[in-house]
A and B are shown apart, each in its own frame.
Chain A
């Protein structure tokens, strides 16, 4: 059942939300895998199921009857969907760590950022050494200026991009085997974006970390990922190496999506959008 060259193997994953006015089939039986030490980029339209797929991996979605998850997710010889709450907790952090799409949903507003990063280190690293020093080092790594001055800051005292980088620091503090990064650089300007992506590449090499990278940014997919999966309305419509998919996309949705990418110095009166009648 478990292929040893893959760190994560998802089979026939379906996610359904039960609503007062009908159900939402967010993910409709998708299968994919992430090889050890590789980066899989996940792209697709807003609402296509990228974040819920990521959250299903460590049972972070609401429990039934609100949300029904079926299928299998294999990680290190275990089906994560079948684990008890206690067992899955041991996977979170040092097994699979997240950088969530919206920082405010995962940073705790009542603790300083220094405290929150230190907590992650204490929880997941066996002999952490000087934790304060390590926190400062992590803040510095993610490009926060004057880390000493910021150690005692509360999340609301930081800019959006700085909060995002604190979350990245927390995820990296866990030294996970698989990092799931959901739009990790959406709020970051290109210079810091580059610094973060270089940092992730570096860690990937050093810690042999595997990465699932959810992003809207094709520039990042191109420079950073090995394989790319395109989701469209809860289904995988394209999967392949980054080079192949960007150069010769097969599915009309992928083609249309690539056609929408805005480029510097292009003179266009209107940006290109997708005519959904045509692609579906």
Chain B
């Protein structure tokens, strides 16, 4: 067994609910409530569960984009929740996220070329402009977008095309770990297959590790080594992916499998 790359320990993220005219805190939403799991290097953990169960919040916590209430996250042995901004800087290259909502995560005023080249300018300061362009070409090609996409703005694309811009941006800086949050859900089955194959190729070639959040169980089963099932902020079941899909122990998991549309 390879070594553990990511370990999440007793993670809690609670959001206050404000109410009344004074905007006082009247309640809390336990978005993530005592979640623990680990992912080995070069492996994929699939994260599934009901809408609103806390999947995105778990993913964002790993990038320090969610207000963690309690718990620890170890990346390659180092605790990152308590880490200050400066020491965390290199992790902003190593850990990338493909966001669930592509439109919201792409700057509408930037051309695609600039969107993808921005992280390169930050993390690969020495790379020449030409090399940067080459890499962007290459990435766009891999996600099936044409060359002239570079000069266009996010609003000029279809939903699935925008999602692929987000994927190209995440891959650009050669990360080690990617949180894929519904990364292929807006894609037709053919382009989806293309992107899933690409992610698997990169994993085999470069040893990438993934947290793969999705709701299409067939895709999750295909790409994941193990699967964790979340419900109301907690992980209710966790195990090797075939076992979860073939002999689920929890009624909730069984429900998920039963509700999967049949062809």
Residues in A lying within 8 Å of B, measured CB to CB: 17, 19-22, 43-47, 50-52, 101-105, 143-145, 149, 152-153, 157-165, 182-183, 186-194, 216-220, 222-223, 246, 256-257, 260-266, 268, 270-274
Q: A21-B148, A192-B50 are in contact. Are A273 and B263 (CB under 8 A)?
A: no
Cα–Cα distance between A261 and B189 once the two chains are bound (Å): 6
User: In the complex, how many angstroms separate the beta carbon of A114 from the nearest chain B beta carbon?
Assistant: 12
Q: Which residues of B contact A160 (CB under 8 A)?
A: 51, 56, 100-101, 182
Cα–Cα distance between A189 and B51 once the two chains are bound (Å): 6
B interface, over-half SS:
helix
Cα–Cα distance between A101 and B103 once the two chains are bound (Å): 10
Cα–Cα distance between A152 and B48 once the two chains are bound (Å): 27
Residues of B in contact with A, size category: 35 or more
Q: A45-B191, A189-B50, A190-B261 are in contact. Are A262 and B27 (CB under 8 A)?
A: no
Are A216 and B260 touching (Cβ within 8 A)? no
Q: Which residues of A contact B158 (CB under 8 A)?
A: 46-47, 50-52
B159 contacts A by Cβ under 8 Å: yes
Are A159 and B192 touching (Cβ within 8 A)? no
Are A270 and B197 touching (Cβ within 8 A)? yes
Q: Which residues of A contact B27 (CB under 8 A)?
A: 149
Are B151 and A264 touching (Cβ within 8 A)? no
Q: Which residues of B contact A266 (CB under 8 A)?
A: 218, 222
Q: Which residues of A contact B259 (CB under 8 A)?
A: 190-191, 193-194
Contact of A159 among B51, B102, B152, B162 (CB under 8 A): B51
User: In the complex, how many angstroms separate the beta carbon of A44 from the nearest chain B beta carbon?
Assistant: 7
Q: Which residues of A contact B49 (CB under 8 A)?
A: 189
List which B42-96 residues lie within 8 A (CB) of chain A: 48-52, 55-56
Cα–Cα distance between A251 and B185 once the two chains are bound (Å): 25
Q: Taking each of B51, B55, B219, which has the highest tally of chain A beta carbons within 10 Å of its own beta carbon?
A: B51
Question: Per-position contact with A for B175-199: 1 when CB-CB < 8 Å, else 0?
Answer: 0000000100111111111101100
B4 contacts A by Cβ under 8 Å: no
Contact of A274 among B164, B190, B263 (CB under 8 A): B190
User: In the complex, how many angstroms separate the beta carbon of B225 from the nearest chain A beta carbon?
Assistant: 14
User: In the complex, how many angstroms separate the beta carbon of B12 from the nearest chain A beta carbon?
Assistant: 17
Are B256 and A20 touching (Cβ within 8 A)? no
User: In the complex, how many angstroms separate the beta carbon of A112 from the nearest chain B beta carbon?
Assistant: 11
Q: Could you write out 8 A-B pairs with CB less than 8 Å apart? A: A22-B148, A46-B187, A157-B15, A189-B215, A193-B259, A223-B261, A262-B189, A272-B193
Q: Which residues of B contact A164 (CB under 8 A)?
A: 51
Cα–Cα distance between A279 and B57 once the two chains are bound (Å): 41
Shortest 3 CB-CB contacts between residues of A and residues of B: A219-B261, A161-B51, A46-B160
Cα–Cα distance between A223 and B15 once the two chains are bound (Å): 37
B36 contacts A by Cβ under 8 Å: no
Are B56 and A159 touching (Cβ within 8 A)? yes
Are B221 and A222 touching (Cβ within 8 A)? no
Q: A160-B101, A262-B222 are in contact. Are A222 and B261 (CB under 8 A)?
A: yes
Q: Which residues of A contact B256 (CB under 8 A)?
A: 189-191
Q: A183-B159, A191-B50 are in contact. Are A271 and B196 (CB under 8 A)?
A: yes
B255 contacts A by Cβ under 8 Å: yes
Known: A152-B18, A165-B51. 12 other contacts (CB 8 A): A45-B190, A46-B158, A46-B161, A102-B101, A157-B15, A158-B52, A161-B52, A187-B185, A222-B263, A265-B221, A265-B245, A270-B193
User: In the complex, how many angstroms separate the beta carbon of A169 from the nearest chain B beta carbon?
Assistant: 14
Q: Which residues of B contact A145 (CB under 8 A)?
A: 52
Contact of B103 among A51, A105, A159, A187 (CB under 8 A): A105
List which B75-132 residues lie within 8 A (CB) of chain A: 100-104
User: In the complex, how many angstroms separate the beta carbon of B144 from the nearest chain A beta carbon?
Assistant: 8
B202 contacts A by Cβ under 8 Å: no
Are A191 and B257 touching (Cβ within 8 A)? no
B216 contacts A by Cβ under 8 Å: yes
Cα–Cα distance between A165 and B182 once the two chains are bound (Å): 16
Are A47 and B161 touching (Cβ within 8 A)? yes
| B181 closest partner in A (C-beta) | A160
Q: Which residues of A contact B262 (CB under 8 A)?
A: 219, 222-223
Are A263 and B159 touching (Cβ within 8 A)? no
User: In the complex, how many angstroms separate the beta carbon of A4 from the nearest chain B beta carbon?
Assistant: 34
Q: Which residues of A contact B102 (CB under 8 A)?
A: 102
| A20 closest partner in B (C-beta) | B151
| B150 closest partner in A (C-beta) | A21
User: In the complex, how many angstroms separate the beta carbon of A236 from the nearest chain B beta carbon?
Assistant: 16
Are A260 and B51 touching (Cβ within 8 A)? no
| A44 closest partner in B (C-beta) | B188
Are A189 and B261 touching (Cβ within 8 A)? no
Q: Which residues of A contact B15 (CB under 8 A)?
A: 157
User: In the complex, how many angstroms separate the beta carbon of B94 from the nearest chain A beta carbon?
Assistant: 25
Q: A19-B152, A216-B188, A216-B189 are in contact. Are A187 and B161 (CB under 8 A)?
A: no
